[in-house]
Amino acid sequence: MSTTALTYLFVGLSFALYVGLAIWSRAGTTKEFYVAGAGVHPIANGMATAADWMSAASFISMAGIIAFAGYDGSVYLMGWTGGYVLLALLLAPYLRKFGQFTVPDFIGERYYSKAARVVAVVCLIAISFTYIAGQMRGVGVVFSHFLDIPIAWGVVVGMGIVFVYATLGGMKGITYTQVAQYCVLIFAYLTPAVFISMLMTGNPIPQLGLGAPLSDGSGLTVLEKLDATLVDLGFDEYTTGAKSRIDVFAITLALMVGTAGLPHVIVRFFTVPKVSDARKSAGYALVFIALLYTTAPAVGAFARLNFIETVHGAEYAAPPKTGGVPSFFRTFERIGLIAWVDKNEDGKIQYAAGPAIEGRPVFTGEAGPRGERLVANPPTATANEVEVDRDIMVLANPEIAGLPGWVVALVAAGGVAAALSTAAGLLLVISSSISHDLLKKTFLPSVSERGELVAARGAAIFAILVAGYLGVNPPGFVAQVVALAFGLAAASLFPAILMGIFFKDVNREGAIAGMIVGLVFTIGYIAYFKSPWFGATNSPEYWLFGISPEGIGVVGTALNFIVAFAVSRFTTPTPARIRALVDGIRSP
């Protein structure tokens, strides 16, 4: 059976499984739609949380970003895993004990204010739509490659699948679907990693293969060979960081704090029966997440080295078996995710440091190289003929390494599972915030449970349409878009939640002012450097304190805390009943 046929089979079977689970676990009440009836087993919730957490950014883009950024890509590993520990220890058990449906629910009740609830909904929607743009982009990349259709049509297919099981099953359907999606994505991620590690080093454990000697007889380890190869081509060493220390610190901390403020992850801890189950499911999820996160550095390094060895110097017109360009190169070139310009007209592909194409947009509207860390004025800067979208590296990895067609098909199913699982979770928190927090708790308290459920499904449909548009027109590559969403979460929701649990003196005026200042500052900074409307140069010399837009959430977080405490000090104290509520949340 051909690779294309296997891909259709694997992806089709996974879709049938997801839709079947949604139909089987269809939500009949608002409690089932919002929090799966609060009856999910901790192990199942741990798997669902891991799938919700390990999005297209984790599956598709993280190893890609590490493949091109090298040492600098470690900020994503440290930030995302550290943030989950922060969430599990500081927030999850207390929010479960509070016993509400949504994050705005907690903020509205804790800060005794409908205005605070509305501001929280605005923050949540800004975070979720930014995040979901990356997921839908990931869906489009996967489908465009494996089903040989344009990225826009790939996004449309993904929208259709999410529409069925997110609007039908709600949180109950999504939970059991995400359990299946975790099993698919982790098997799809680890299988090629084990194969490639065996082929390159003889060691079946990718984490150990990353530092093991290569099987080519050179005596060099994977990282030593990659360092030497990249330096020969004019790049900086793979194991040497190019980012400033302040920016590494800021991005890592922003990702950590942002993780703890992500509404679609937090809501997962409302779905278990007891507070102790929230702690258990957090522990299980961390183990499930670690399986992928500890493998990603090896996948990134293997992919970059194999890419260079199979592409650099290959004859474009010759068949792959006779030293020509591999088939994956032509596939991605056809759908616009690889670009080649034969500058010296020798018919061979030259891959080196520097941009291949100048003076016109490439991939996402940004001219120049995509993620390669260049040495200062490299002598080979004008020799490069290849532009590579980093989001392709995990998807292309099995093909680059020459693995069997069923492994390629499995990776396709895993990539789709990763993107769809998080997209569904995000769509649910958007729809529940609109139907529950805005409609039921704010503007139309008299609405029936049936009416609220209909509104939730209608809001999900609206959110899917907006997500589809953002997936077709994303503001960057997948991991970059997701990093921006984490910055927004760090600057807006995390401080309000943390202060709501541990600081009784913070009142509604302080919380509202803090969220608004943190969100507006962070959005403004990101827009100034990332949006084409302002035309600002996105370069370290122009950043505030040398902090990039991906890390500016740290400053937004600090502003949120400062403003909240300052405003609370000079306004009406927190009522006694709210102080008692906070004490009740924290008591064993």
CATH of the domain at 431: 1.10.4160
- Determine the pLDDT at residue 558: 95
Range of the domain at 207: 3-256+263-303+403-479
Domain count, the chain: 1
- Determine the pLDDT at residue 576: 92
- Determine the pLDDT at residue 572: 92
Instruction: Please check whether residue 135 lies inside any domain of the structure.
Output: yes
- Determine the pLDDT at residue 563: 96
Asked if 132 and 262 touch (Cβ cutoff 8 Å), the reply is: no
Instruction: Please check whether residue 561 lies inside any domain of the structure.
Output: no
Instruction: Please check whether residue 158 lies inside any domain of the structure.
Output: yes
Instruction: Please check whether residue 345 lies inside any domain of the structure.
Output: no
Q: Give the orientation angle of helix 151-201 with respect to helix 449-472, to 10 degrees.
A: 70
Instruction: Please check whether residue 318 lies inside any domain of the structure.
Output: no
CA dihedral 208, 213, 214, 216 (to 10 degrees): -160
- Determine the pLDDT at residue 370: 41
Instruction: Please check whether residue 540 lies inside any domain of the structure.
Output: no
Asked if 121 and 434 touch (Cβ cutoff 8 Å), the reply is: yes
The pLDDT tens digits for 279-332 are 788 788 888 888 888 898 999 899 899 888 888 888 888 877 777 788 888 878
- Determine the pLDDT at residue 476: 52
- Find the radius of gyration of the CA atoms of the chain: 24
Instruction: Please check whether residue 554 lies inside any domain of the structure.
Output: no
DSSP letter (8 states) at residue 197? H
pLDDT along the chain (588 residues), means of 10: 77 76 62 56 83 73 82 80 78 76 82 88 81 73 71 80 65 74 86 90 90 86 90 84 83 84 74 77 84 89 89 82 78 79 84 69 39 44 75 80 80 76 74 76 76 78 80 59 76 90 92 93 84 69 86 92 95 92 79
The total of other beta-carbon atoms located within 10 Å of residue 217's CB is: 7
Residues counted in the chain: 588
Backbone angles phi, psi at 3, to 5 degrees: -60, -40
Instruction: Please check whether residue 461 lies inside any domain of the structure.
Output: yes
Cα–Cα distance measured from residue 201 to residue 221, given in angstroms and rounded to the nearest whole number: 8
Instruction: Map tokens 């500081």 to a residue.
Output: 90
